Amino acid sequence: MMLVDPTPEKKRRRRVLAVQNVKGGVGKTTVAVNLASLLVERYGKKVLLIDADPQCNASLYLLSDERFLAATDSGSVAEKEHGNLWDLFHKDVRYIDLVTGRRHGPRTSFDRHYHVVKRGTGGGLLSLVCGSARLSDIQEMGPELVVSRIRDWLRGSASGDAEVVIIDCPPSIGSLTLSALRAADDILVPMSPDAFALHGLPLLLQKLDQYRTPLRIKCRVAGVLFTLYPPIGAEVRPAADAYASRIEEICRARTPPVAVFAARISRDEAYPQSFERHEPLPFSNDPKLRSLVDELDGVARDLKLVGDAI
Ligand SMILES: Nc1ncnc2c1ncn2[C@@H]1O[C@H](COP(=O)(O)OP(=O)(O)OP(=O)(O)O)[C@@H](O)[C@H]1O
Ligand SMILES: [Mg+2]
């Protein structure tokens, strides 16, 4: 089903959203990919997903193994049609590796650093800047050298005409995450309702305070999104509810308060299965997935990416 975004054309501007939590395995990539797909399929939006994690899970979710290898094979630059995020970071950088003495860069310039992954049924378009395992190089560079790379590229015409940009961050705060935060308007913080959940948020907020001025980072925390939420009736559901209430209290008590979204993402096997099929939930026709896709719709509304209140 296609819904029309009622926002008048002139009020629209590109929104850049970083999905980050220092805690690993909380559903950042799953939310980033499925939220992007929802906006494309249900609202006909042009969405650009940037995979800023050396684990490349967002790229592996969306691309077949062959396309992923073709996008990341550093040995055959001549064969590659599009650059990935590593190429984008290195396109005009020259440096000498002090350990090996090898010269690097500048790399072959690519016309495009994104792939078109999917055209939605109503004119929407999902594009991807593919990740690369070599992005761990960037993590080792001083943030001041690379912090503006994603932002500058997004400001240029070579980044296309996406209305929404979603950046999937690694579970750490190094140069890659900081470049994502420098480019972002908002940060979405996925969090599972469990005993370990709160460790990541204070660290993220502390790092934001530390780097905001020196690295000119202006984004704000849009809110915490509970993910992997056990279904009603599950044995662990009461414990999850108790953790969620506690987390809400702590977020409310912070200065300034951190919002906790009303929308929640249920724990459901459909997510890992969709990863294996390289098919995000919103692109499936299976009616059994409808309630899960509606939860993603709630996230898009809480983020004001769609709806009257943009
Ligand atoms: N709502 C969900 N229900 C069930 N399984 C989920 C859900 N969300 C994520 N998963 C599974 O949990 C695992 C971790 O999810 P994901 O990769 O999205 O987390 P992440 O925060 O991006 O991890 P990392 O910090 O390593 O980048 C994956 O196997 C994924 O399929
Ligand atoms: Mg991830």
What's the pLDDT score for residue 89?
86
Centroid of ligand 1 to alpha carbon of 228 (angstroms): 8
Spatial separation of the C-alpha atoms in residues 127 and 159, rounded to whole Å: 10
What's the pLDDT score for residue 92?
59
Inter-residue long-range contacts of 253-257, CB under 8 Å, 24+ positions, other chains counted: 254/205
Q: Give the position, in ligand 1's atom list, of the atom nearest the Cα of 30.
A: 18
Spatial separation of the C-alpha atoms in residues 100 and 89, rounded to whole Å: 21
What's the pLDDT score for residue 140?
85
The answer to whether the beta carbons of residues 22 and 173 sit under 8 Å apart is: yes
Closest-approaching ligand to the CA atom of 33? 1
Residue among 19, 20, 29, 265 to mutate when testing ligand 1 (max atoms within 8 A of CB)? 29
Spatial separation of the C-alpha atoms in residues 283 and 305, rounded to whole Å: 19
Closest CA to ligand 1's atom 14: 25
Domains of the chain: 12-302 (3.40.50.300)
Centroid of ligand 1 to alpha carbon of 8 (angstroms): 35
The model's pTM: 0.92
Centroid of ligand 1 to alpha carbon of 30 (angstroms): 6
Averaged over successive runs of 10 residues, the pLDDT of the chain (310 residues) comes to 54 86 96 98 97 97 92 67 86 64 64 90 93 90 90 93 97 95 97 86 88 95 97 96 94 93 98 97 96 98 80
What's the pLDDT score for residue 105?
59
User: Is residue 170 exposed (0-12), middle (13-18) or buried (19+ Cβ within 10 Å)?
Assistant: buried
Q: Give the position, in ligand 1's atom list, of the atom nearest the Cα of 265.
A: 1
Phi and psi at 163, nearest 5°, equal: -85, -30
What's the pLDDT score for residue 72?
85
Residue among 26, 28, 30 to mutate when testing ligand 1 (max atoms within 8 A of CB)? 30
What's the pLDDT score for residue 111?
76
What's the pLDDT score for residue 295?
98
Closest CA to ligand 1's atom 3: 267
Q: What's the order of all strands across the beta sheet hosting 15-19? A: 115-119, 125-129, 46-51, 164-168, 15-19, 186-191, 220-229, 260-266
Spatial separation of the C-alpha atoms in residues 174 and 169, rounded to whole Å: 10
What's the pLDDT score for residue 272?
98
What's the pLDDT score for residue 81?
75
What is the maximum alpha-carbon separation in the chain? 60
Structure tokens at 268: 């459901």
Which residues approach ligand 1 with their CB closer than 6 A? 24-30, 53, 55, 57, 171, 227-228, 265, 267-268, 271-272, 275
